[in-house]
């Protein structure tokens, strides 16, 4: 691997880097026909009744076959997940992992209700949404065509996904991700400030998890 690329990869924060690596490897495995999407998707019946628990994890790493939509989701996820991990969660790897883990459980619970077998895109929208709410005045240029402020970013990305795929159903997962991201933002930035006045189980990683990440 060229030194420049290796250095760039190591500059990406660890949680974001790990998720990107697993997602790219999963899509390459499907592209090379080492596995099929049918072995990766999530359904309660397959995961629990048919004793295939790995589906609860693989559903978050498959962004689809390598295509324009794949590049679109990976680019924006990597950009804003990295920015969030480097700012709000700087030196708080456990808390960022905890945010994604709790969001994953919420999405697994919602999946059967909205018929979403793959949850990678919805989960990717959680850090995008949270970053956009924590930087409300930041201007963002979309493809050099229009400039918006950060809170409108999730809506713009959902609309773009809709346009790429030609159907609103393709953007349904992104909308669910925004909803879960809103819950995460509300618990961390509104509830703890205005109603509880402190951190809770849902906003701060357990001590054991922090120890696992070497933070305590």
**pLDDT tens digits, residue range 23-71?**
989 999 999 999 999 999 999 999 998 899 999 999 999 988 777 778 8
Average pLDDT score over residue span 166-171: 69
**CA proximity to 40, closest of 26, 21, 20:** 26
DSSP tag of 194: I
Residue with token string 């990683």: 205
Cβ neighbours, 10 Å, residue 168: 12
**Residue 107 CB partners (closer than 8 Å, separation 6+):** 116, 119, 122, 123, 176, 177, 180
The model's confidence at residue 134, banded by pLDDT at 50, 70 and 90, is very high
Q: pLDDT tens across 141-160, in order?
A: 876 778 889 889 998 888 88
The model's confidence at residue 208, banded by pLDDT at 50, 70 and 90, is very high
Q: Count CA atoms within 13 Å of residue 28 on its CB side.
A: 6
Tokens of 198: 């402190």
Domain 5-213, CATH among 3.40.50.970, 1.20.1540.10, 1.10.3720.10, 2.40.110.10: 1.20.1540.10
In whole angstroms, what is the distance from residue 139 CA to residue 110 CA? Answer: 32
Measured in degrees and rounded to the nearest 5, phi and psi for residue 146 equal -135, 155
Adjacent-strand bridge partners of 146: 142
For the chain, domain boundaries? 5-213
**Residue 167 CB partners (closer than 8 Å, separation 6+):** none
The model's confidence at residue 198, banded by pLDDT at 50, 70 and 90, is low
């Amino acid at each position: 691997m060229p030194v420049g690329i290796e250095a760039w990869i190591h500059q990406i924060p660890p949680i974001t880097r790990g998720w990107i690596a697993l997602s790219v490897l999963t899509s390459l495995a499907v592209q090379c026909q080492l596995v099929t999407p049918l072995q990766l998707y999530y359904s309660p019946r397959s995961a629990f009744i048919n004793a295939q628990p790995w589906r609860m994890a693989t559903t978050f790493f498959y962004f689809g076959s390598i295509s324009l939509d794949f590049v679109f989701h990976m680019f924006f996820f990597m950009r804003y997940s990295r920015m969030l991990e480097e700012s709000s969660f700087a030196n708080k790897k456990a808390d960022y992992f905890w945010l994604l883990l709790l969001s994953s459980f919420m999405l697994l619970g919602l999946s059967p209700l909205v018929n979403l077998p793959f949850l990678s895109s919805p989960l990717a929208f959680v850090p995008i949404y949270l970053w956009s709410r924590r930087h409300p005045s930041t201007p963002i240029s979309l493809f050099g065509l229009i400039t918006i402020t950060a809170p409108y970013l999730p809506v713009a990305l959902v609309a773009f996904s809709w346009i790429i795929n030609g159907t609103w159903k393709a953007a349904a997962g992104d909308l669910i991700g925004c909803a879960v991201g809103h819950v995460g933002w509300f618990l961390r930035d509104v509830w703890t400030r205005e109603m509880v006045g402190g951190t809770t189980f849902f906003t701060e990683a357990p001590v054991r998890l922090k120890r696992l990440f070497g933070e305590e």
